[in-house]
Structure 1
Amino acid sequence: MDTEKSRPYFFGDIGCWAERTEVHKAASLGQASQLEELIQGGASVNMVAVDSITPLHEACLHGQAKCVQLLLEAGAQVDARNVDGSTPLCDACSAGSLECVRLLLQYGAKANPALTSRTASPLHEACMGGNSECVKLLISMGACLEAYDLYYGTPLHVACANEHTHCVKELLNAGAKVNATRLHETPLHHAAKSMRVETIEMLVEFGANIYARDQHERRPVDYTTPGSPSAACLQSYETSPLSLQQLSRLAVRRKLGTRALNVIGQLEIPKLIISYLCYQ
């Protein structure tokens, strides 16, 4: 097998190191025919290159679904970790490749790999990129809604900080904790900073505490521009109590707990009730 010659390398399976190989190149570029030839010729699909990156990491990071399938069929380690602790599923979620995510999960990839101090969960990565379909699929496979990252907080924090309203909606409807904190900062603080009125309204509808104070003793409204739509929105919530429908929705959600709405949907309760409990 041909490799780049700039450094010495060692052949072997997962755990051995090599300069970036032809298998890595073909996987990243989506050259499925060449990759298949390399595999049939005996090339290792688990060779670890610089930064502990495997060919599967490369294929997932670039959304090359056909190459992902070939690698998995050839025995690629589905939960291999790179130097940052990221798995191929993390990379596929970051790339927003629903097809790659689906393939990895079918081959047993963990939706909840153990977090390290240097990596976020697949759900965090999907929320960071605003990939709501990946978020939905991960949730259906049991992804932890409250996975905590040292730098970002929960997936809901990430979705709000990056202004991805569709991801916020998926997380909230699945039962994510709306008042989760990182250094006392809530998702609503992030939404206020980004001036996203739609996200602010959604969070408050699901019970976000508009009076929550962060580590600087500041409320969400303190991060808005005076006179802006987002400031007016939060100020109106401060002066107007929640409606009976809003209070009822919150009471039911608290009673049923997380993932309540998924269970409700499986029980085939009339859509009118579901739409009452969910944020549409």
Structure 2
Amino acid sequence: MELTAARSTFYGDIGHWADRTPVHEAASLGRALQLKQLIEAGASVNILSVDNFTPLHDACIQAHPKCVQILLEAGAQVDVRTIHGSTPLCHACAAGSIESVKLLVDHGASINPSLTALTASPLHEACIRGNPACVQLMIDKGALLEAFDIYFGTPLHAACAKAHLDCALLLLNAGAKVNATKFHETALHHAARAERVDLVELLVEFGGDVNISDNLGHKPRDYTKPESPASLCLLHYESNPLSLQQLCRIILRTVLGTRALELIPKLDISQRIIDYLIYKVT
């Protein structure tokens, strides 16, 4: 079905402003029965508001999977972008609606839409909002772990900037580069700025470099409050080289995180198994 613009209204000097339609409103409010009746009466499911929002965008951002399903089955375009470049899948991931995400993916939504200066990828959105189920699904569907958003950097940067430990762990286990940089700033810089000791320890366990400097010459610890738990944690790692056991763990986690599913299909590698392997190596 073709995209059509919503009717416009003239407001004097500010020109024309497209109104939101009843289809937009029904989708946004989750009124599935009303939405279905409007479509059956001939309303367009691909009508655009002034900001290029379709009813599908509204249903996704408000986490109404039933409305998402109705719109998709009626021919809604799955990858249409708003004026900011966001697709419905971006909105569904931001809302944390795993049902909506699955529906969009099943209808061919792009997992890796091209990024613009104003938008992030669906994986970024899931990490920014802290929606681990959506993060895992995007990873499973082939989302680019090193996709670069001009504001946050990689999805790992975004997860750490917003202090979402569970999302960061999923990314690291999937093979995200722990020392990837945005203006020489790593995820560890974000974790330090957020004063999150658990994130700092996680990143270091996966090989995060506590001594790397950003483009301002600042190490992660420079972004912490003096004597804070995060500052003391980073100071400890700066002053004490990693033990052989820790280095072995980093190597094993790197290998298992990127190749375990290929080498040992569907085997859950627990911490106890990792510790046993380290014991055998050392």
TM-score (norm 2): 0.88
Check the 8 A contact 2:68/2:100 in 1, yes or no: yes
Q: Structure 1 residues 4 and 72, CA, compared in 2 at 3 Å: closer, same or farther?
A: closer
Residues 81-131 of structure 1: CA distance to partner in whole angstroms, max 9, x if unpaired? Answer: 111110000001111111111111111111111111211000111111011
Check the 8 A contact 1:253/1:260 in 2, yes or no: no
Alignment of 1:1-280 (within 5 A): 7=9, 19-254=19-254, 259-264=258-263, 266=265, 268=267, 271=270, 272-273=272-273
Taking only aligned residues, the RMSD between alpha carbons, in angstroms, comes to 2.3
Q: Structure 1 residues 276 and 210, CA, compared in 2 at 3 Å: closer, same or farther?
A: farther
**Counterpart code for 1:263:** E
Q: Structure 1 residues 215 and 116, CA, compared in 2 at 3 Å: closer, same or farther?
A: same
**C-alpha distance in 1 between matches for 2:247 and 2:93:** 35
Residues 57-102 of structure 1: CA distance to partner in whole angstroms, max 9, x if unpaired? Answer: 0000100110000000111001111111100000011111111111
1:212 deviates by 0.5
What secondary structure is seen at the aligned counterpart in 2 of 1:7?
strand
Provide the identity percentage.
56
Check the 8 A contact 2:252/2:274 in 1, yes or no: no
1:49 deviates by 1.2
Give ranges in structure 1 of 5+ residues lacking alignment. 9-16
Q: Structure 1 residues 63 and 244, CA, compared in 2 at 3 Å: closer, same or farther?
A: same
TM-score (norm 1): 0.88
Q: Structure 1 residues 137 and 234, CA, compared in 2 at 3 Å: closer, same or farther?
A: same
Give ranges in structure 2 of 5+ residues lacking alignment. 11-16, 278-282
1:267 deviates by 5.3
Check the 8 A contact 1:249/1:276 in 2, yes or no: no
The count of corresponding residues between Structure 1 and Structure 2 is 266
What secondary structure is seen at the aligned counterpart in 2 of 1:50?
coil
Residues 212-256 of structure 1: CA distance to partner in whole angstroms, max 9, x if unpaired? Answer: 001110111111122111111111112222233321232245557
Report what 1:14 is aligned to. none
Check the 8 A contact 1:23/1:55 in 2, yes or no: yes
**Counterpart code for 1:26:** A
**Counterpart code for 2:132:** S
What secondary structure is seen at the aligned counterpart in 1 of 2:51?
helix
